[in-house]
């Protein structure tokens, strides 16, 4: 049975005599020099952990090449997964950028200007309904009026806003259509 010192000495010899050939092997197969350095480091880490299993000196380099080959395959798979993940992330970022509300700045400015021209009560009824997503009965509770008053004022506020904005600014399905659509009936 060998002592820990014997394993350390053997590992040092294996490392010293195989580092350069193993690095050359990895450099020829890795995409980047940094990847080759990682492969060699990981290969020698495996060799250190399995030092008691290292084959005879004449076969140790072949064993290290086998380990390096598996490490390279793992790096390749990891790189492919990383690339796929990166592509998904880039697509999601593009989707967010493409949906940037800043592209609707002129429309937003027109809506803000039109909202400013509405009376305070009508503006509050409209924004509580559209932006906060409240039902007319909920808006009525917030403003302490009846739901019938809210529905009437909401309908008038939408019509007035549509007149102030103009039909030519908003294509069909645009947020302005939602703002100025007829008021929903209670329970719909």
CA-to-CA distance for 42 and 51, rounded, in angstroms?
A: 14
CA-to-CA distance for 76 and 86, rounded, in angstroms?
A: 15
Per-residue pLDDT of the chain (188 residues; tens, 9 = 90+): 456 688 889 999 999 999 999 999 999 888 888 889 999 999 999 999 998 888 988 899 999 999 999 999 888 888 778 888 888 888 887 776 665 555 566 677 777 888 889 888 998 898 888 888 889 999 999 899 999 999 999 999 988 888 888 755 555 555 555 555 555 555 54
Structure tokens at 135: 């039902």
What is the SS3 assignment for 131?
Answer: coil
- Quick check: 18 and 60 in contact, CB under 8 A? yes
CA-to-CA distance for 103 and 96, rounded, in angstroms?
A: 12
Maximum distance among all Cα pairs of the chain, rounded to whole angstroms: 94
Q: Say what the pLDDT of residue 108 is.
A: 72
Backbone angles phi, psi at 100, to 5 degrees: -60, 120
- Quick check: 98 and 160 in contact, CB under 8 A? no
pTM higher than 0.75: no
Q: Say what the pLDDT of residue 31 is.
A: 83
Structure tokens at 160: 């007035």
Q: What does the domain layout of the chain look like in residue ranges? A: 4-98, 104-180
CA-to-CA distance for 122 and 156, rounded, in angstroms?
A: 8
Closest CA to 179 of 98, 120, 188, 170: 170
CA-to-CA distance for 31 and 69, rounded, in angstroms?
A: 14
Rg (CA), the chain: 35
Element (H, E) at 24: helix 4-29
Q: Which fold has domain 4-98?
A: Rna Polymerase Sigma Factor; Chain: A (1.10.1740)
Assign domain 104-180 to its CATH architecture.
Answer: Orthogonal Bundle (1.10)
């Amino acid at each position: 049975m060998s002592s820990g010192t014997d394993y350390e000495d053997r590992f040092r010899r294996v490392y010293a005599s195989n580092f350069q050939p193993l690095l050359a092997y990895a450099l020829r197969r890795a995409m980047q020099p940094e990847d080759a350095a990682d492969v060699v480091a990981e290969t020698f880490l495996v060799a250190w952990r399995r030092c008691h299993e290292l084959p005879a000196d004449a076969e140790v380099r072949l064993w290290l090449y086998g380990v390096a080959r598996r490490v390279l395959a793992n790096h390749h798979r990891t790189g492919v997964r990383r690339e796929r993940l990166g592509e998904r992330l880039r697509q999601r970022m593009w989707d967010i950028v493409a949906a940037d509300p800043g592209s609707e700045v002129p429309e937003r400015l027109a809506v803000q200007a039109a909202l400013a021209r509405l009376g305070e009560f009508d503006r509050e009824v409209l924004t509580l309904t559209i932006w906060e997503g409240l039902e007319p009965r909920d808006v009525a509770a917030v403003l302490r009026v009846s739901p019938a008053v809210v529905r009437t004022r909401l309908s008038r506020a939408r019509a007035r806003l549509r007149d102030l904005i103009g039909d030519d600014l908003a294509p069909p399905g645009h947020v302005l259509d939602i703002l100025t659509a007829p008021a929903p009936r209670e329970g719909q």
